[in-house]
Structure 1
């Protein structure tokens, strides 16, 4: 018996304890590896290598349910990366690198490795500049209201009224999820009509975001510089007013920039 066969057998044994649905899931997840999405998906923090992830993710949605920022989505029926597998779309919502990494802790199958629940061990991908000329900071342009307003639409913990009016209200007994999403928006609000350094100033890498991204002078303006500690969380992609950046899933700093981190 090969190691892969043993791994599969042992896993299905575990799934058998969940009954018929568990067995169905086990059959599905091992088939999922043969139906990869045409473009590599950005996976949540702690994701094991892609083939293993597709094999182990049981599509339970636990990571999605505990994510405070609503950053995690499940692959739809038209997806080829295994319907129901967890992914992050930075255009809709980046990952904000929660210190406790609840998504990792909630994963029951090992698709998100419980041994990687520390920022030093998290690596989702790498940010790259794909449209330098669009950068507001490079041209000394101010942040438009539309850039801030758009993030309200990405914040489902808000009320419909708040989203419509683009204005936060004080509500009694807010949930932790609401508090975190409101805190992000309040930080973002400070950039209305101001010089744009959003990608660098709101990078969630901790304890020091400047190790992951910073602004550097160029041609009379400024441009973001991706640095060694970038983990590819996608927050900069979501928050950037003009789509200057993108994330290359699972890529390393050395692969993209030719240097060792």
Structure 2
């Protein structure tokens, strides 16, 4: 096969998939379509999804297309990266004892900082979702992993904290999608008279989010859509497209089904 001019392609089950922007081959989750089911509500609680379950492109769905914006790397480990630097490490685990000195359980010291970020993310995503009428079904929150609770086992608490920390990345993807939606006028969207002060900032500040927090979001990887900022991506069926899947805001993250790419 001649080399591609741009992107990557692969053939799965006799069908060619092509991404104009991919720099490496990616395992496509052809069967994991959220079109008819909610990937955040598995039938068994023992199968609760984690951030790692959303690394690969899956077929586009109108209410779950935002999953394509979930980052593929834990950028909260980057230096000088507020407000995410509080996630750069798991807070200190402290023990709690009874009057006799017997350990009764373990908690995270400083979990309140995670709770604040958890709540701020939720408020930001919900405010933008409602204001711009964005069709998206939201996931459960990081706090649902129980990082605020006491555990008898230190290892159990550490595991819950790690899963919760990674789950923040799923919400980063949701917020990133909302910002992308707000920046590009389209059906059901509002425009802003001043390009110097984005409307989405006003929406968040009116919701009560601090201007410095909004500044940090605007200057973070959440609002950075360059190809060097890897995300999960999605699969778009050009021949039988799902509503919204051909929106150019998704193009940078897309693998296109049945497309013959350009070759050299």
Higher-RCO chain (CA-CA 8 Å, sequence separation at least 6): 2
Relative to the length of structure 1, the TM-score reads 0.28
Relative to the length of structure 2, the TM-score reads 0.28
